[in-house]
Amino acid sequence: MFMGEYAHNIDKKGRIIIPAKFRDDLGENFVITKGMENCLYVYPEDEWNAFEDKLNALPTTKKDARMFVRMMTSKAAECEIDAQGRVLIPSPLVKLAELVKECMVIGAANHVEIWSRERWEPVDEEANDA
Arithmetic mean of pLDDT, 48-55: 97
Average pLDDT, rounded, for the chain = 95
| pLDDT confidence bin for 127, thresholds 50/70/90 | confident
Which residues pair with residue 33 across a beta bridge?
Answer: 41
Mean pLDDT computed over 39-67: 97
Tell me the pLDDT tens digit for each residue of 35-46. 999 999 999 999
Nearest residue to 40 (alpha-carbon basis) of 101, 104, 118: 104
H helices of 2-116, in order, are 20-26, 45-57, 63-74, 91-96
pLDDT tens by residue, 74-104? 999 999 999 999 999 999 999 999 999 999 9
Task: List, in sequence order, every residue forming a beta bridge with 7; answer none if it has no partner.
Answer: 104
- What whole-number percentage of the chain has pLDDT above 70? 99
Most distant CA atoms of the chain, gap in Å: 45
